[in-house]
Amino acid sequence: MAEGTAVPASRPSVHVQGVVKSFDGRVVVDVADLTLGRHGIEGLIGPNGAGKTTLMRMIMHSIRLDRGKISFDPGDGAPEVVISSEPAHAIARMGVVKTNQVIQDFEQLTIWDSLLLSASQARDERAYRIFREGRVWSQYGDEIQGYLDYLPFDNPFGFAGSAGEKKLLDIIRCLLLRPKLLLLDEPTAGLPAGTRDRVMELIRKKASEENVSVVIVEHDLNVIWNLSSYVHFMAEGSVVLQGDPAWIREHATVVEKYLGKGHVGR
C-alpha cells in the first residue's frame, strides 16, 4: 500500500500503534500502525469526518485514547518516548505542538500580549512574571516582531480582529513553542490567497531550515500538492493509502472517496 520516496532517518516523528477512539459507541479512529513526520512536510487528507482532527488530538493527548500507544522520536538521536501516557502540556514541551482547526478566543489579550504569553510557555516561565520582567520581551521581542511584520495584521498592538488574524496568531503561537513536530489542522482555511502563500512559505522554511517535521491537514488540496512530499489518506477512521502526492492524487480510491470522479486529469 505504501508508495514513494525513501525515508530519511533523522526527522522528528510520531509512531501511532493500535490506536482506537470511539464516540458514543461509534469508532471514529482506528489506526493500526502509522508513522508521521519522517518526510519533512506531510499531508493528512480525507473527507469530512474521516478522523483527521481526532487523530491529531489523540497525538496531543487532548483527548483520551481508548486503546493503543503513541511514541515520539525527536530525531536527534535521543531515545523515543511514549507520549500517550504523558499529559498534554508535557507533550508540547517535548516539541509536539498543534494548531487548532477551530480557532481559540484571543479576545481578552492583545496580539502582542498573547504572543508574549506563548513565548513564556516556551521558556517554562511563570505567566505573571512576563510583564513585570523584561526577559521574555528581550529574548522573543525581535522574533515576534519578525512574524508580525511578515504576516499581515491590521494593528499588531491591538486585538486580533478577524478569524483570519486569530488563525495567524495561533500559528505564530505554535512556532514560538519551538516545535520539533508541528501538527497543522487546516492552517490556511479562510485566509486570503496572498496570506495563505505567506503561511505556506513560512512552513516550508521551518521544515527546510530548522528540521521541523510538519503534518498538515487541509481541504484546499493545492496546499497539499504544493507543500508536502508525502501524503496520508484517511477514510472512515483509518489511514488507507500513503505515498507521493502525485501518486495519491491519481489513485482511484482517493478520487472515488474524496475528490470526485471528475477530478483526474485536471
Interacting residues toward Mg ion by CB under 5 A: 53, 101
Which residue of the chain is nearest Mg ion when measured via CB? 53
Which whole-number Å values give the CA distances from 213 to 18, 31, 206, 254, in the listed order? 22, 20, 8, 24
Q: Does 49 bind ligand ATP (CB under 6 A)?
A: yes
- By CB under 6 A, is residue 60 in contact with ligand ATP? no
- Pick out residues in 9-28 that bind ligand ATP (CB under 6 A): 23-24, 28
Residue 48 interacts with ligand ATP (CB under 6 A): yes or no = yes
* 255, HSE (Cβ side, Cα atoms, 13 Å): 12
Q: Measured from the CB atom, is 174 or 183 closer to ligand ATP?
A: 183
Q: How far is the CB of 189 from ligand ATP (least distance, A)?
A: 9
CA pair distance 38, 3, nearest whole angstrom: 14
CB atoms within 10 A of CB 214: 25
Q: Is 50 in the site for ligand ATP (CB under 6 A)?
A: yes
Residue 62, interface with ligand ATP (CB under 6 A)?
no
- Residue appearing with cell numbers 503561537: 173
Interface mask toward ligand ATP for 87-126; x: CB under 6 A? --------------x-------------------------
Instruction: Say if residues 99 and 73 touch (Cβ distance below 8 Å).
Output: no
**Total of chain residues touching ligand ATP, rule CB under 6 A:** 12
Q: What is the rounded distance in angstroms from the CA atom of residue 3 to the CA atom of residue 26? A: 31
Q: Is 19 left (phi over 0), alpha (psi -120 to 50) or beta?
A: beta
Please say which residue, 24 or 142, places its beta carbon nearer to ligand ATP. Answer: 24
Residue 190 engages ligand ATP in binding (rule: CB under 6 A):
no
> If binding is defined by CB under 6 A, does position 189 make contact with ligand ATP?
no
Nearer to ligand ATP, 49 or 192 (CB): 49
DSSP assignment of 217-266, as one string? E-S-HHHHHHH-SEEEEEETTEEEEEE-HHHHHH-HHHIIIII-GGGTT-
Under the criterion CB under 6 A, does residue 64 sit at the interface with ligand ATP?
A: no
Q: Which is nearer to ligand ATP, 111 or 234 (CB)?
A: 234
C-alpha distances in Å from residue 150, one per residue of 13, 136, 205, 236, 265: 28, 21, 13, 38, 36
In this chain, which of 37, 51, 75, 95 binds ligand ATP, going by CB under 6 A? 51
Q: Which stretch binds ligand ATP (CB under 6 A): 43-51, 138-146, 174-182, 240-248?
A: 43-51
